[in-house]
Structure formats: structure tokens, C-alpha cells
Structure 1
Amino acid sequence: MKKSIVALSVLALTSASAFAADYSDGDIHKNDYKWMQFNYMYSIDELPHGKDAENNAHDYLEMEFGGRSGVFDLYGYVDVFNLATKDDTDKDSDASKMFMKFAPRISLDALTGQDLSLGPIQEVYIATLFNWGGGSRNALGGSGDVNNSFWGLGSDVMVPWLGKIGLNVYGLYDLNKKDWNGYQVSTNWFKPFYFFENGSFISYQGYIDYQFGMKDEYSSVSEGGVMFNGIYWHSDQFAVGYGLKAYTNVYGIEDGKDWGGSAESTGLSHYVSVTYKF
């Protein structure tokens, strides 16, 4: 399973306001917007992988999309790996060709017509998240490709310097195992911090996904996660960036012990990307 979130310049606009969402007038569509972009990305040393892996680099094309429509707030992407189908990468013919993330949230403020803001909390949501791999239920040595769902509460929160961030807390229901398996805290941010005279800007953007309370029967460690830190240049039509991703026992895989002692699930990886915005 992989995850990359390249935050959008449109989020810089929506996060510029420090005011809580107000739907008391009944107009739940006044904050609607939508966006889509394509990212060509190259990953170096993405984790987890085995220590004996010969090449841990691969390219992929990502269609990223999202927006707001009434009570619904949406983020998602579809990745297609190893575009040239090279045999000397970690995404060769035996690996999943695609991965999809779909993360709809339902605004409780818009749904109820009430202002549920409190202090730095600007808006409250019922939060869901779905991770789907491109392989079959029998993929990955019979354990099945990624097929996870997350259910919980979300919020938009104002924090110093970063501005508005997303903050969600979920319980994980594994659709392959038909069982609950711990929790996840997720946050994401987009902070333009340097502006050029032509209107383009440089941003610091990224996310944290941290899992905890995972069961012994499904994971060798009970907690682990990732943090992505990206520096991107944005114009109205394009973006170019670099991201550094830090892992610790990601997905509950114990570094140096799982997979017969060959698992590498803690460390750093690098991402470069070129984006075209629609």
C-alpha cells in the first residue's frame, strides 16, 4: 500500500479564511468548489520493502481530485504504477498496477445547519477513508491486496503559521479480514510561504498518518506511521516539487524482523513530481 498526498493550491485559498463555516442561512452550497490535476511522480526507496530488493525506485501517474458540494467534502486519487512496465523495479509485473484512495467527509455543520465550531475547530465532519489496491483478493501471497476502510470523526482546525489543517481520527475496518484492527490519526496541511511577483508561490505541504492499537493477530507491532514533508513551487497551471517521507514500522510491519528478518519499514524515501492542473 502506498500513499502520497500532493496538496492543492486551491486549499491555500480555502485555508486563507480563519472564519468558521456558517450554514445557518440554509445555503449549503455557498462554499462549493472542485479541482483535478495529474501528477507524474518518481519514488526512490519507498517503504516497506525487503532488504534484498534490487531496485526500490519506480514512476507512476496520479490523477488527484477533490472539492466540496453541499454537505460533502471529498479528496481522492488514483495511481497507475510503473508506466513503462519495467522488470527491474519494485513495481514489476508481480506487483499491483493501481492503487486508489477515496476520502469523503460529511459536514455536520452543513447537515444540521448549526455552527459546531469551538475555538480553533472550524468545522466538524463524519470522516471516512477507503484504500483499495489494484490486485485481487488472492494477491500478495494469498493475503489479498489492500482493501481497507476507516470510519470516524474529522475536523478543520486553525493552527499557528500553518493555517487550516485537516485532522481526522478513525477506526480501521479491514474488508479482507472482516474485522476491526486499531485506529488511525491523520492530518494534512498546505502552507504557501514565499510569493513571487508573477503570482506563483512556494509551499510547504504534507501529511501525517499514524496507526495505533493494531491487533497482534494481524500486525507484529501495534503502532507505526508516516510523515510526508514537501516543498513545491505552484503556478495557476503547473507545480513542481520534492517530498521527503519518513516511516516508522509502517502498516504494523516491524522493521528488521518481519518477512524472515528482511523487512525494511523504518527510514526515509524521496519523491519528485511534476503536476498539470485542470
Structure 2
Amino acid sequence: MRKSLVALSVLAASLSAATNAADYTDGNIHKNDYKWSQFNLMYAFDELPGESSHDYLEMEFGGRSGIFDLYGYVDIFNLTGSPDSDKASADPKMFMKFSPRVSLDALTHSDLSFGPVQELYIASELTWDGVTTNADKGTFGVNNYKVGLGSDVNVPWLGKIGLNLYKTYDMNAKDWNGYQISTNWFKPFYTLDNGSFVSYQGYIDYQFGMNDDNKALNTANGGAMFNGIYWHSDRYAVGYGLKAYQDVYGLKDGGWAGKTSGISHYVSVTYKF
């Protein structure tokens, strides 16, 4: 049971199922295939930008099939329809992220690993909330497409992490705008007698080299770091997360977008399929 729990949670962190360097020289590109999905009922306290506190339902999923590695989620805000929610009158009612990667190792039937780098990818990411960016209306849309180079890297203590470097295309401005470096990790660090365990899991998204001509709205760099402590069983998870922001999305703290730097808190209950 303990081994299956660790494997399940590593999948939920959207990392490869393999624990060693990928080697597809045998031509079997489906030997590491897997898939997973789960529903997370969450509540955010003082989420930035805007210091919004609200409930939401998140469908999270991912897997591996041949050359393709996928992670994604869809968030639905104010699930209860409460008129008192910070999201009740907000323009975005949902947010989604899809992060497909194409394995260069599997694509070329080879082993491209070197040093701590276990596998290389063509990486992409789509983030979308359907809202346009309009300073006159006071709206900001997170509608971006990113493409670049991805990797799985083995680091001390944390083990395997995903590490991706993207160039960003702003779909609102219809122009390329800076870069993003992203990493994610999942580290079980305490196992209970019944096989369930506690993990440290999270991610960093940091943008840089962005257009900051509009000094009242933008900065050249910014990002966020999520740090979560979660209890996991085969079917359930319960967790707390602390998220730190610095000019998140390249929005200037105290500018037109309001507060964009600081700390927010999250709690969640998960059911795994």
C-alpha cells in the first residue's frame, strides 16, 4: 500500500512515473504510460491580485501517453453561488491551465539524459480565464500561451522536479511578452503506520523580461511560489497551502491592478479517481 500511495501522489504532481532517466532506445514509448484525475474543493484567503477570498472547485488531471506528458486543471469559482463571495460580481467565473509536453527522448527513441537531467521535452502551457485586459473597465485577463524547453530534473531531497522555460505570447495584446520559468515538486516526508503519508508539494512560476512601458500597470518581472503540506491516502487528500506573490503576472503592486505582492492561504479537500 505504501508503495502504491507514493506512486499515486507522484503522478498527481504531474511528474513522470519513471524514477530513473528515461530510456526509449528499445522503441517502447508507452512503457511509462499512466493517467489520473481528482476533484479538489478549495477555499482561498486573500488571493492576489485583489485580495479575494472565495471557494472554488478544481478538476485536476494528468498523465503520460507515448510522447505526450500532460498536466492540467479547471477551476470554477463561487461554486455555492453566494452573493457575498468576492467572485460573485467578478468577470472571471473560471480559470484553466493546460500544460502538455512532448518528450524528445520518446520522440527520437533515445536517452537524452545528462547529469541530473532525466528527460527533455518541448513544453507548452495555456492559461485562460476568458476576460479581456481593459484598464478603463478595471479588468485583467490571464490569457496566455507559452512554449519552450522542458525537463525532469533530479535534485537533492526533493527528488524529481519538473523544470520548464517558456516564451510567453499574450493573447490579449496579440504579442510576445517576456519569459517564464516554472518548476513543480512533490516530496513525501512522513509515512504513517497505515501507509498514508504527509507531503511537501508546490510550484514556482516566475516571469521576466516583460514589457513594462505602462508603469502604472506593469513590471518587467514577477511571480508566485506555492508551498503546500498535504496528507494523502489512496482515495483522499487534505491540505493547506501558503502562496507568496511578487508583482504576480507582472502587475505592479499598488498600481492599477491593486495589491499584487504578499501572502495568501489555501485549504483543500480532495477525492481521487
SS in 1 for 2:107: helix
Q: Cα distance, 1:226 vs. partner?
A: 0.3
Question: Would you say 1:181 and 2:177 are equivalent positions?
Answer: yes
Question: Would you say 1:9 and 2:34 are equivalent positions?
Answer: no
Aligned counterpart, 1:254: 252
Aligned counterpart, 1:114: 110
Aligned counterpart, 1:4: none
Structure 1 letter corresponding to 2:248: V
Of 136-145 and 71-80, more deviation after overlay is shown by 136-145
Q: Cα distance, 1:146 vs. partner?
A: 2.5
Aligned counterpart, 2:243: 245
1:274 to 262, 269, 273: 269
SS in 2 for 1:113: coil
- Call closer, same or farther: CA 1:172–1:244 in 2, change over 3 Å: same
- Call closer, same or farther: CA 1:67–1:24 in 2, change over 3 Å: same
Question: Would you say 1:236 and 2:234 are equivalent positions?
Answer: yes
SS in 2 for 1:9: helix
SS in 1 for 2:157: coil
Stretches of structure 2 lacking an aligned partner (at least 5 in a row): 1-7
Of 154-163 and 128-137, more deviation after overlay is shown by 128-137
Structure 2 letter corresponding to 1:84: T
Counterparts of residues 1-278 of structure 1 (less than 5 Å):
9-11=9-11, 18-49=19-50, 56-135=52-131, 141=137, 145-217=141-213, 220-256=218-254, 258-259=255-256, 263-278=258-273
**TM-score, length-normalised on structure 1?**
0.89
- Across the aligned residues of Structure 1 and Structure 2, the Cα RMSD in angstroms comes to 2.2
SS in 1 for 2:48: coil
- Call closer, same or farther: CA 1:58–1:98 in 2, change over 3 Å: same
Structure 1 letter corresponding to 2:268: S
Q: Percent identity?
A: 69
Structure 2 letter corresponding to 1:168: N
Aligned counterpart, 1:3: none
**TM-score, length-normalised on structure 2?**
0.90
Stretches of structure 1 lacking an aligned partner (at least 5 in a row): 1-7, 51-55
Q: Distance in 2 between matches of 1:150 and 1:15?
A: 21
Query: How many pairs align?
Result: 263
- Call closer, same or farther: CA 1:270–1:91 in 2, change over 3 Å: same
Structure 2 letter corresponding to 1:221: T
- Call closer, same or farther: CA 1:12–1:135 in 2, change over 3 Å: closer
Structure 2 letter corresponding to 1:41: M
Aligned counterpart, 2:4: none
- Residues 86 and 92 in structure 1, CA contact (< 8 A), matched pair in contact too: yes
Structure 1 letter corresponding to 2:54: H
